[in-house]
Chain A
């Protein structure tokens, strides 16, 4: 899936996540790109919300990182790909982090599992000490 995401060419956008307002910028850009890719209605809100979650995780747990937005096309179907990448401490136990309610930040613990539910494809890879990469996609219905 990550390979496929890399192939998406049409438009690519990198949003650095360094400060609080960058989270808002990332989700707004994500929404715009989704519109360009032909998505509409509540899908736009789903994408923006998922971006908001992973972008905040970058700020809170890694300090800084980036969100990459891409348009996709597979078998004539269009979509968007969101990659959230940081070089922070990483996640030791991914299945645990993916559980509803699990949080080391004393927050709701719904960001990762919630984003997975909102998107069509979701993948998270991490190496402790090297950071986290979340790749997620949403396809036009």
Chain B
């Protein structure tokens, strides 16, 4: 299951379409990080609406994507965490660390804009 990655101006959008194996998640990480460098993206939105579970591996991988992307100059926002998934993550003890979240793609893009304006010199 390959996760399609869309480029929209300086933002990369990865929309997960179905359940992912651990290998798929690692593939997503590698693809995203490569593309961040390739396009010099300023932001990454990962849409997890269709993800059936967010277990410790998925969370750790998304966190590592966000951290590595940040080192390469892009902010990451996770969007679409469903109510059941959110409550499960909390009970499992998972935290997303410094990763930002938003309700959906639209919100995520808006939040990225705000984050980047703040990062910008004089912003």
Residues of A within 8 A of B (CB): 20-21, 23-24, 27-28, 31, 41-42, 44-46, 48-49, 52-53, 56, 100, 107-108, 110-111, 113-115, 117-118
Say whether B2 faces chain A, with CB atoms less than 8 Å apart. no
Closest A residue to B63 by beta carbon equals A108
Residues of A within 8 A of B57 (CB): 52, 56, 107
| CA–CA, A110 and B60, complex, Å | 11
Least CB distance from B46 to A in Å reads 18
Given A27-B52, A44-B84: A49 touches B22 (CB 8 Å cut-off)? no
| Complex Cα gap A129–B111 (Å) | 51
Partner of B92 from A20, A21, A24, A117 at Cβ < 8 Å: A117
- Max chain A Cβ within 10 angstroms of own Cβ: one of B20, B55, B85, B94: B55
Q: Are B52 and A31 in contact (CB under 8 A)?
A: yes
Residues of B bordering A, CB below 8 Å: 19-23, 52-57, 59-60, 82-85, 87-88, 91-94
Given known contacts A41-B84, A42-B87, A110-B94, A49 and B21 CB-to-CB distance under 8 angstroms:
no
State whether B94 touches A108 (Cβ < 8 A).
yes
Q: How many A-B residue pairs have CB under 8 A?
A: 74
Q: Whole-angstrom distance between the alpha carbons of A111 and B56 in the complex?
A: 7
Separation in Å of the B50 CB from the closest CB of chain A?
A: 13
How many Å from the CB of A19 to the closest CB on chain B? 9
Inter-chain CA distance A52–B92, complex, in Å, is 12
Q: Are A108 and B21 in contact (CB under 8 A)?
A: no
Tell me the interface secondary structure of chain A in the complex: helix
- A107 and B56: CB pair below 8 A? yes
With a cutoff of 8 Å between Cβ atoms, the chain B residues found around residue A45 in the complex are 52-53, 82, 84-85, 87-88
Cβ–Cβ contact A49 & B92, under 8 A: yes
Give chain B residues whose Cβ lies under 8 Å from the Cβ of A49. 53-55, 88, 92
Known A-B contacts A52-B53, A108-B60; the reply to A46 vs B21 at CB < 8 A is no
Judging by beta carbons under 8 Å apart, are B88 and A110 in contact?
Answer: no
Closest chain A CB from B63 CB (angstroms) = 9
Q: Which residues of B contact A31 (CB under 8 A)?
A: 52
Tell whether A48 pairs with B52 under 8 Å between CB atoms, given A23-B21, A42-B83: yes
For the complex, give the distance between the alpha carbons of A27 and B57 in Å: 14
Establish whether residues A42 and B23, one from each chain, have CB atoms under 8 Å apart when the complex forms: no
CA distance A23 to B53 in the complex (A): 11
Given contacts A42-B87, A44-B84, A46-B91, contact A114 B56 (CB under 8 A): yes
